[in-house]
Amino acid sequence: MRIGVLALQGAFREHLDTLDAIGVAGVRVREPSDLDGVSGLILPGGESTTMRQLIERWGLRRPILDLAERGAPIFGTCAGMIVLAAEIAGGEPPILALLDVTVERNAFGRQLESFEADLVVPILGATPVHGVFIRAPIIDRAGPDVDVLARLDDGRVVAVRQRNIVATAFHPELAGETRFHRLIATMAAEHADPGEGSGRRPHPTRRSIVTRHDGSAR
Residue 206 pLDDT greater than 70, yes or no: no
Q: Model pTM?
A: 0.87
Contacts of 185 (CB under 8 A, 6+ apart): 1, 3, 19, 22, 24, 40
190 counts as catalytic: no
Long-range own/partner contacts, residues 100-103 (CB < 8 A, 24 or more apart): 100/142, 100/143, 100/144, 100/145, 100/146, 100/162, 100/210, 100/211, 101/139, 101/140, 101/141, 101/142, 101/143, 101/146, 101/160, 101/167, 102/139, 102/140, 102/141, 103/137, 103/138, 103/139, 103/140
Mean pLDDT in residue range 117-134:
96
196 counts as catalytic: no
47 counts as catalytic: no
Q: Which of 14, 104, 171, 191 is catalytic?
A: 171
Mean pLDDT score across all residues of the chain: 88
Q: Which of 173, 177, 181, 191 is catalytic?
A: 173
pLDDT at residue 127, as a whole number:
97
Q: What is the pLDDT of residues 67-77, one digit of tens each?
A: 999 999 999 99
Residue 50 pLDDT greater than 80, yes or no: yes
Q: What is the pLDDT of residues 76-101, one digit of tens each?
A: 999 999 999 999 999 999 999 999 99
Mean pLDDT in residue range 159-188:
97
Q: Which of 15, 78, 177, 191 is catalytic?
A: 78
Residue 103 pLDDT greater than 90, yes or no: yes
